[in-house]
C-alpha cells in the first residue's frame, strides 16, 4: 500500500466549502441535478407536525421540501413542500374545517405517496439535465422523488429532483453565456 502523503496549504485563506458557484449544461447527466440520498440525508417531518413548524424546519435545514413519516412505522407516507405550506391549501382547510392555523398539520396538506409521480433511477441515469428541465416545464411539478428497484423487486427512495434547483443551475449558466437558454424537447 502506498502511504498517504501530506502537504502544506498553498494559501493562507480558503473559500468556504459549498460556496463555489455550481453550473450545469443541458447535456450533462440528469443525475448531476438530483439530491442523492446515498450522499445526502433526507429531511423528514412527522405527519402530526404543525405546518409552520415544518416550514421552519425546512428553512433551518436549507431545503424546500420534506418527506412526511408515519409516527408509528417511521415509513414515508408523503411529501410536503414549502409551496404547499405557503399556498392557499392551509387557508382553504382552515376555512372549511373552521380551525386555527396552529392546528393544521402536515398530514392535512401533504402529497400522499399514492399520488406521487416519480422518476425511476434507471431512466434518470440515461437522461440529461435538459430532459429533467423539460419534465418540470411540462408537468408544473416542483419536486419529483426518484426511486430505485431493490433486489426483491420493491422500490425505495433514492433521491429527489427539484425544479427550483434545476432552474437555478441552468440560470447561472445562462447568465454566464449572456444568451437565452433554449431546450428542445422531442415529442
Phi/psi of residue 156, nearest 5 degrees: -140, 155
Domain 30-177 has CATH 3.10.129.10: no
Residue 41 neighbours by CB distance under 10 Å? 8
pLDDT value for 186: 41
Q: How far does the chain reach from its first CA to its final CA, in angstroms? A: 53
Pairing state between β 155-162 and 76-81:
unpaired
Residue 179 neighbours by CB distance under 10 Å? 8
pLDDT value for 7: 87
Per run of 10 residues, the mean pLDDT along the chain (length 187 residues) is 89 77 88 95 97 98 96 97 96 96 97 97 96 96 96 95 92 46 42
pLDDT value for 179: 43
Three-state DSSP state, 156: strand
pLDDT value for 42: 94
List the grid coordinates of 185: 424537447
Distance between CA atoms of residues 67 and 75, nearest Å = 10
pLDDT value for 187: 36
The secondary structure of the chain in percent helix, strand, coil, rounded to multiples of 5, reads 35, 20, 40
Distance between CA atoms of residues 165 and 180, nearest Å = 18
Amino acid at each position: 500500500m502506498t502511504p498517504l502523503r501530506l502537504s502544506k496549504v498553498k494559501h493562507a485563506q480558503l473559500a468556504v466549502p459549498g460556496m463555489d458557484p455550481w453550473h450545469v449544461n443541458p447535456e450533462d447527466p440528469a443525475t448531476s441535478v438530483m439530491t442523492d440520498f446515498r450522499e445526502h440525508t433526507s429531511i423528514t417531518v412527522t405527519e402530526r407536525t404543525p405546518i409552520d413548524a415544518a416550514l421552519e424546519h425546512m428553512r433551518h435545514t436549507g431545503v424546500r421540501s420534506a418527506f412526511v413519516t408515519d409516527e408509528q412505522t417511521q415509513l414515508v407516507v408523503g411529501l410536503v413542500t414549502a409551496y404547499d405550506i405557503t399556498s392557499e391549501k392551509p387557508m382553504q382547510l382552515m376555512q372549511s374545517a373552521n380551525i386555527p392555523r396552529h392546528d393544521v398539520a402536515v398530514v392535512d396538506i401533504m402529497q400522499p405517496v399514492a399520488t406521487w409521480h416519480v422518476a425511476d433511477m434507471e431512466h434518470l441515469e440515461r437522461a440529461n439535465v435538459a430532459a429533467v428541465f423539460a419534465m418540470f416545464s411540462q408537468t408544473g411539478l416542483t419536486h419529483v422523488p426518484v426511486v430505485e428497484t431493490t433486489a426483491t423487486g420493491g422500490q425505495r427512495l433514492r433521491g429527489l429532483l427539484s425544479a427550483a434547483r434545476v432552474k437555478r443551475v441552468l440560470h447561472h449558466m445562462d447568465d454566464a453565456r449572456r444568451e437565452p437558454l433554449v431546450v428542445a424537447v422531442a415529442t
